[in-house]
Structure 1
Amino acid sequence: MNDGLAAVLAALVGLVGAVGGAAIGGMAATRGARVGAETAARATARQVQDQAAVDHMHWLRGQRLQAYQDLLAAYDAYSDAVKAVEQWASREAGDAGRRPGEYVQRVEAFLRAHMVIRLVGPVEARTMSAVLWEALQTHAFKLQDWALLVERRSGDETIAGAREELAPARAAMVDAHDVFLSEATRVVGTPMGN
């Protein structure tokens, strides 16, 4: 073989090797870039999902805190309305005037706050809110009965009997309030409001 032909053949083999090497290198680089991009995209998507979960938990915690505050404020408003009924009933029958009915609206406000807790609260808070709702509702019914007897001037003994039934209902309501408050405090103090 002559030297010129050997040089051309060597150049051709070198050229094929260089082109083949470049093609293989290019394919490997493309594959590596694609794998890197997919990994980065998955990591970004996971980060976005994690951040969304954290944001949701913060939102839920805020909703729970507001719901607990609303329920406790409704409880306090009901208690104030009950005091107004008690003051009205303690007056002489002649100056008693019209019975305050604001406590009925306070019961409705309490129910609305309780329903929000049923939506956003954890199981324990929902349960304690339901117990408090039942106790408040029982008290409200007994208060209504007693107030009607006072308004109708049904006799001291009958009125006194109805008044006595209010005491255990009020005690049950206060106990349920304290248990709910304890549970709400626990939930709010728990990381991420679980």
Structure 2
Amino acid sequence: MYIIPFVAEAAEKKKDGFDFTEAWGVTIASGVTVLGMILAAWIAYRAGRRQVADQGLIEHRHWRRQNRLEAYKQFMVATDSFTEAMDKWRTNHSAANVGRALETLIAAEAGIRLSGPQSLHPHGERVIQAAKAVYLRVRRPGLIVLPIPPQQWVQLTRDVLDAQNVFVVEAAKVLDDPDQ
């Protein structure tokens, strides 16, 4: 009988420490699970944002390349129109066609300046300068049209075509480089 009062006294006595029961184990496991889910959701969110950003960058580069390609094509067409106007001038000596072709070429060069890159601007400007040199030579005030010596005409034509060829080479480099 001595043992029973000791057990009864121990049951009535309150514990001062922490009593780890099964409920606490479930609570801790649930908390760890929730934290794991939050971490997984955050990682998925960051990966999704990164994927969207990468896709946006790819789309922007594609858009920029297409705009540049269109601007370069317009410039090339304008340059070809200018050389055709030069050829026609040799037969009809009308500087008006050459002047209109030069204006079209200058407008197309503005598209190059807008679409870039900066490294291509001097090459477009070189074509414009060569075309202006031709226009200044064929546009003469007065009624008398003086013939242009053949060697000078060949040199003026060569300057325009050489500048155009350099532009084409540099434009191809820009279009081939995905980082530009």
**Structure 1: distance between partners of 2:87 and 2:153:** 13
Verify the 8 A CA contact 2:106 2:128 in the aligned structure 1. yes
Once residues 21 and 108 of structure 1 are traced to their aligned partners in structure 2, the CA distance between those partners, rounded to angstroms, is 83
Partner of 2:79: 75
- What is the correspondence of 1:50-129 to structure 2 with a 5 Å cutoff? 50-89=54-93, 99=94, 101-129=96-124
RMSD between aligned alpha carbons?
2.5
**Residues 1:62 and 1:193: Cα distance change in structure 2 (over 3 Å):** farther
> Following the alignment from structure 1 to structure 2, what is the Cα–Cα distance between the partners of residues 107 and 51?
40
Task: Give the match's secondary structure for 1:101.
Answer: helix
- 1:170 Cα offset (Å): 2.5
1:174 aligns with 2:161: yes
More helix by share: 1
Decide whether aligned partners of structure 1 residues 138 and 65 sit closer, same or farther in structure 2, where only a CA change above 3 A counts: same
Shift of 1:53: 0.4
Counterparts of 2:178 and 2:124, CA distance in 1: 20
Verify the 8 A CA contact 1:131 1:176 in the aligned structure 2: yes
Preserved CA contact (<8 Å) 2:71 2:108: yes
Q: CA shift at 1:163, angstroms?
A: 7.3
1:183 to 155, 170, 173: 170
Q: Does the CA-based 8 Å contact 2:127-2:160 persist in structure 1?
A: yes
The answer to whether the 8 Å contact 1:61/1:193 transfers is no
Residue 132 of structure 1, CA deviation: 1.2
Q: 1:33 aligns with which of 29, 37, 40?
A: 37
SS of the residue 1:192 aligns to: coil
Residue 139 of structure 2 corresponds to: 144
Q: What is the distance in 2 between the residues matched to 1:161 and 1:118? A: 33
Q: Deviation digits for residues 21-50 of structure 1, max 9, x if unmatched?
A: 122112111111111111111100000000
- What is the total number of aligned residue pairs between the two structures? 167
Alpha carbons 1:81, 1:102 under 8 Å: kept = yes
What's the CA shift for 1:161?
Answer: 5.7
Query: How far 1:171 moved relative to its partner?
Result: 2.2
**Structure 2: segments with no counterpart, 5+ residues:** 1-6
TM-superposed CA distance for 1:87, in Å, is 0.7
Note the residue ranges of structure 1 that are not aligned, 5 or more in a row: 90-98
Alignment correspondent of 2:144: 153
TM-score, length-scaled by structure 2: 0.80
Query: What SS does the aligned partner of 2:139 have?
Result: helix
Q: Which has the larger radius of gyration?
A: 2
